[in-house]
Amino acid sequence: MTTKEKHLKIMHYTDSPSYELELTSKYCKALLIKLFNQVCSEITPEEFAVLDTVSCHKGFCQRDLAKLILRDRANTGRVLDSLEKKGFIKRSNDTKNNRLVRIVNITPSGEVVLKELTLRFQPIHEKMCKIFSEEDLLILRASLKKVREAISQIVDMQI
């Protein structure tokens, strides 16, 4: 086996980059949940991520949001139900390509809670980024993107 091929040999799934990604993602989730428990906020971590996505993509319909957050339409609709009930987003009927869709937008009170939580988490995120050199952080981001693109070509994310 040449040096070039050495890094291709995977003897165990749990040694693969995919599985390491899964484990690392669980750590991130645990951290997020801990932070939310501390601030005892009025929204869940999942709702927070969806709210942030909505604020970054104004006027998207539910299905397009579902594609962004990688959940199915059913689950996306339910999270949006909860966010709407809490007054952080509002939905309006509209048409896209001559089809009825529900357009989602963040409300002023949604902006408030989003900004407050983002500010509160800023120190932790800075801490996380600081453990990397700027170059390694760029490589990490690029690598993750590469993984997503590679998988996109193999499996259709059917949402």
Residues 79-98, mask of contacts with DNA (x by CB under 7 A): xx---------------xxx
Q: How many CA atoms lie within 13 A of 75 on its CB side?
A: 11
| Least Cβ distance, residue 42 to DNA (angstroms) | 13
- Site residues for a copy of itself, 94-123, by CB under 8 A, read 117-118, 121-122
Closest CA to 104 of 73, 126, 142: 73
Q: Could you say which DSSP state residue 96 is in?
A: E
C-alpha distances out from residue 97 to 91, 92, 100, 101, 159, Å: 18, 16, 9, 9, 18
CB of 50 to a copy of itself, least distance (A): 9
Selection from DNA, a copy of itself, none that 112 binds (CB < 5 to 8 A by kind) is none
101 contact choice in DNA, a copy of itself, none (CB below 5 to 8 Å, kind-dependent): DNA
